[in-house]
Amino acid sequence: MKATFEPYVLKFKRPGGTSRGVLTEKLTYILTLEEDGRTYLGECGLFKGLSADDREDYEQKLQWVCDHIDLGIQVLWDQLREWPSIQFGLEQAFQALSFNRYKDEYNDPYNPDLFESAFKNGEKGMQINGLIWMGDVDFMRQQIQEKLAEGFKCIKIKIGVNWESEYQILKQLREEFSPEQLELRVDANGGFTFEEAKVVLQQLAELKIHSIEQPIKAGNVEQMAELCAHTPIPIALDEELIGVFEREDKLALIEKIKPQFVILKPSLVGGIRGSLEWIDACDYNGIDFWITSALESNIGLNAIAQWTAILYPEMPQGLGTGSLFTNNFPTRLEVRGEHLYRNK
């Protein structure tokens, strides 16, 4: 077996606005395993400025992984605790290898079968939320109208930059659509202060918002725990999970904050195995979760979607990001209405 990696810069079709700034491109890394003339790909979805493994020696660590690929996935994963995006890229490539190694036909390394399910076979779709990026009021309204026209019944709106305008958009949406007609989720990306968040939570409750992701910046555990204990609407942890590597620390964080939901982004929390450690902590505390992509290319999104499908999700998932880039890889994933499918 031979392993190599290559950086790849994804270009956004249109700038994506968040409370952390506007995104026009995203660097990612494609890991390639070669065995018996076949190639198996995994995406190490580094997220600059957000990933715990956003370090100057990232490419050196990837080269070390390639030089020691014979150690196997179990040993490598354990030795990469502080490199979650590399953990996930390795999981993808090794899963593609193990699932397809003895099959007669394997000619699509960009879209490998990874986990057996009705979704994998193109027989069943998964409900996803429509993602609305930040921008001026007209731009946000345009995005919302597009998603409503496509049939989405769950919309997630990025907030935390201009709350007054964002609140008016949410208020108008709720006046037009009841909670039964349209589920509204908001994602603050840590955009509010503790005092601001307490006011915003009350305003969101009046609009019957489903949930808010990360109302204040990660790392303020005591304040987040207080918000979760008294919030009038569910709070979901997102960035709060980044950089928590050990299983016992994950359980301690969940038990301390006691959020209503947890958002899992495999590229940021150690891939499938790292996500499952968070899920165990959630299950132990009676907390629900959903899976969200983190601006991966279609290679990573294919893996996240197939894995999510075997969890039998009941809520809308955050997996509709495959159409964001002008130079994405070929894919069998397709959004039809508010559902994500994998074409046969």
Q: Which of 119-123, 159-163, 274-278, 336-340 has the lowest mean pLDDT?
A: 159-163
Helical pair 84-100 and 58-67, crossing angle rounded to 10 deg: 30
Residue ranges of domains in the chain: 2-100, 126-342
Question: How do residues 191-233 score in pLDDT, each as one tens digit?
Answer: 999 999 999 999 999 999 999 999 999 999 999 999 999 999 9
* pLDDT one-digit tens code per residue, 5-53: 999 999 998 887 766 678 899 999 999 999 999 999 999 999 999 999 9
**Tell me, what's the pLDDT at 140?**
83
Check residue 20 and give its pLDDT.
Answer: 67
Q: Does the pTM exceed 0.75?
A: yes
CA distance 53 to 47: 9
Choose among 58, 112, 52: nearest CA to 265. Answer: 52
Answer whether 124's CB lies under 8 Å from 342's CB. Answer: no
Residue 240 and residue 249 in contact, taking contact as beta carbons nearer than 8 Å: no
Q: List the catalytic residue out of 147, 158, 198, 217.
A: 158
Strand order of the β-sheet with 130-132 is: 130-132, 154-158, 183-187, 211-213, 235-237, 261-264, 288-291
Closest CA to 86 of 247, 244, 266: 266
- H helices then E strands: how many in the chain? 11, 13
pLDDT per residue as tens digits for the range 131-153 = 888 777 888 888 889 999 999 99
Query: Strands 261-264, 288-291: parallel, antiparallel or unpaired by DSSP?
Result: parallel
* Strand arrangement of the beta sheet that strand 339-342 belongs to: 126-127, 339-342, 333-336
pLDDT of 186 higher than 70: yes
158 is catalytic: yes
Using left for φ > 0, alpha for ψ between -120 and 50, and beta otherwise, residue 183 falls in beta
> Is 126-342 a domain of CATH 3.30.200.20?
no
The closest of 158, 178, 150 to 338, measured between CA atoms, is 150
Strands 235-237 and 154-158: unpaired
Helix, coil or strand: residue 317:
strand
Rounded to whole angstroms, the Cα distance separating 147 from 137 reads: 16
Q: What's the pLDDT at 19?
A: 60
Q: Look-up: residue for tokens 């992984």? A: 65
CATH 3.30.950.10 at 2-100, yes or no: no
**Residue 258: partners with Cβ closer than 8 Å, 6 or more residues away:** 225, 228, 229, 285, 287
Q: Which of 147, 156, 217, 265 is catalytic?
A: 265
Lowest mean pLDDT among 247-251, 300-304, 322-326: 322-326
pLDDT at 59 over 90: yes
Mean pLDDT computed over every residue of the chain: 94
Q: Is-catalytic flag, 11? A: no
Cα–Cα distance for residue pair 16/318, rounded to 1 Å: 16
Of 310, 315, 308, nearest to 288 by C-alpha is 315
